[in-house]
Structure 1
């Protein structure tokens, strides 16, 4: 697990602000959808109702009362290349808190999402919407790099559909790197349980070509307008909650 190091958090209000900032990161792994799956419209579940089963084990020697398991649910909107989609809701879990030497530590948990249909399917025409065999969907997966304190993270985007090879992915060898910026102040919806709403975006990332799509590789990249070095946008509204580890059931390694 990668950990970032910085000054130890200060007052409770400062730690709370850092938690809200750290929540503005997307990441995770997701299962690949099988051909014929039904693609539902995006809907964001309430953060307060989210369970904490994906909370990771803590590093040795840390204080559980000063580490948070943080969960947020987000409704992302993605413009990448020539396509814009409202991605299905993402639920992300990670842990963060002070290390024994006073630095800031982070441990990745998990991300859950589901495929989102790309309008027009493989052809980008009404035929692509009407024919199930031409369906095309996109699903984000964790790219292996993240820093929850700064809003930096990486994602891969798996492409799925009846005609699409299993490994067809945008960012397969080199994931898409994001640097999220806040688009406004956060709002505390509830103190007990803690529920915070916020928005973030990145309009500077580069979208690579899709790879491992077999004979469809060229068609898929032309269809999606990839690679794309400009005009890309990731934005989302999210709700966020957390618990300190002394409020969670004991996990092995904590």
Structure 2
């Protein structure tokens, strides 16, 4: 996601469970009552996520004190990522991220995080990695990325946690719970302007150098789940990231957002 001078403006932003784990699955069934409700289904196959003239700018964050709203812009970008974590590859549901960027009073680059939105994606094969995992609701497994606390639009660095959901999994079951997964995106090619008014720019990026940590807080299924997913995995992981984004300067945002200018 690192911007080159020609890219102005720039975006900132499965194997089966071993037979011995059958007992663990059966024992963990008591967790189903307290677990998050989730209906299994086929993995979401998303086209490139594309922003439009009707883009929602309501997540634009308040600006730092002392900056010029005319020189700061709110960017909203939508991505259709595909991620390989360990032994599992999933085409994730579209992700929308919002942030603000512009010059600080001292002339340095500034940016403020806004929000991230997405939905769960079914993992093919569910907990078992077999057709039974797709047919039996109790064996369902889904994955949902969450903002990991870091987003650097200037360098292409950001972090995510991956929530794991299913009837047999307790709330809080997550890949990267203690320390999020850190990505360093690299451009796959130049950005492409799709529209000038409104501005819409497409780009593709990837990272094949990150480490995928083990799952945490998954109760009795923590070990079997890690074996199912092939975690932790120091290599062989991949994030492919096709995205588009649009922007507005803060002086052109709706009045609802304009009231948040100048905050800290």
Pairwise same-fold verdict (TM > 0.5) = yes
TM-score by length of 1: 0.87
Which residue does the alignment assign to 1:36? 38
What is the alpha-carbon distance in structure 2 between the residues aligned to residue 167 and residue 203 of structure 1?
Answer: 26
Task: Give, in whole Å, the separation in 1 of the partners of 2:166 and 2:47.
Answer: 22
Structure 2 match to 1:157: 162
Count of residue pairs brought into register by the alignment: 232
Q: Does the 8 Å contact 1:157/1:169 carry over to 2?
A: yes
5 Å-filtered alignment, 1:161-240, equals: 161-240=166-245
Change (3 A) 1:154 1:160: same
**Structure 1, unaligned stretches of length 5 or more?**
1-12, 24-32
Asked whether the equivalents of residues 101 and 110 of structure 2 are also in contact (C-alpha less than 8 Å), the reply is: yes
Following superposition, which runs of at least 4 residues in structure 1 exceed 4 angstroms of deviation?
Answer: 38-41
Counterpart CA distance in 1 for 2:7 and 2:70 is 17
Distance in 2 separating the partners of 1:145 and 1:177: 8
Deviations 1:135-192 (A, max 9, x none): 0000001111221100011110000011111010000001101000000111100000
**TM-score, normalising length from structure 2?**
0.84
Please identify the structure whose Cα radius of gyration is greater: 2
**Secondary structure at the residue paired with 2:10?**
helix
RMSD after superposition:
1.8
Partner residue in 2 for 1:9: none
Offset at residue 37 of structure 1 (A): 3.7
